[in-house]
């Protein structure tokens, strides 16, 4: 890193599906993000409690230990994390699940299977110029 370069913005990704986690990490790193990846809700909780607030967070809904609803509630309670954009990423398509996520503090809700370019466009709505 040179003197006038700022560090890469970070992204928190909590996703228990190995293939989707790798895809998200690859996509986001290509966009210039430093990705902090958690493979279950417990590790996601640890990262939320120990990391500085990232540029945004992608949270799966259905995971072991803590689900995405619990994590977004925890995230919103962390000092400095209140303004972190949160995008829920899930196969749960029922309206009540979407409403529950938004009421818990999520900014957006993307259904699986997702289109990579659509997901990146949704991220860009909340985060400008990552690199």
Give me 31's structure tokens.
């966009």
Q: What is the SS3 assignment for 109?
A: strand
pLDDT digits (tens, 9 = 90+) for 22-35: 999 999 999 999 99
Q: What's residue 3's pLDDT?
A: 46
For the chain, count helices (H), then strands (E).
Answer: 5, 5
Question: Under the phi-then-psi rule, with left for phi > 0, alpha for psi from -120 to 50, and beta for the rest, what region is 65?
Answer: left
Q: Which CATH fold would you assign to the domain 10-126?
A: Rossmann fold (3.40.50)
Q: Where are the beta strands (DSSP E) in the chain?
A: 10-14, 34-38, 56-60, 86-90, 108-111
> What's the predicted TM-score (pTM) here?
0.91
Give 82's DSSP letter.
T
């Amino acid at each position: 890193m040179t003197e006038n370069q700022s560090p890469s913005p970070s992204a928190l990704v909590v996703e228990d599906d190995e293939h989707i986690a790798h895809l998200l990490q690859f996509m986001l790193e290509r966009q210039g993000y430093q990705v902090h990846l958690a493979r279950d809700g417990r590790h996601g909780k640890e990262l939320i409690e120990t990391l500085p607030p990232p540029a945004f967070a992608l949270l799966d809904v259905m995971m072991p230990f803590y689900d995405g609803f619990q994590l977004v509630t925890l995230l919103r309670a962390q000092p400095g994390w209140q303004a972190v954009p949160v995008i829920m990423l899930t196969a749960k398509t029922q309206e009540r699940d979407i409403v529950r996520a938004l009421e818990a503090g999520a900014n957006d809700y993307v259904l699986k299977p997702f289109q990579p370019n659509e997901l990146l466009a949704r991220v860009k709505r909340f985060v400008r110029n990552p690199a």
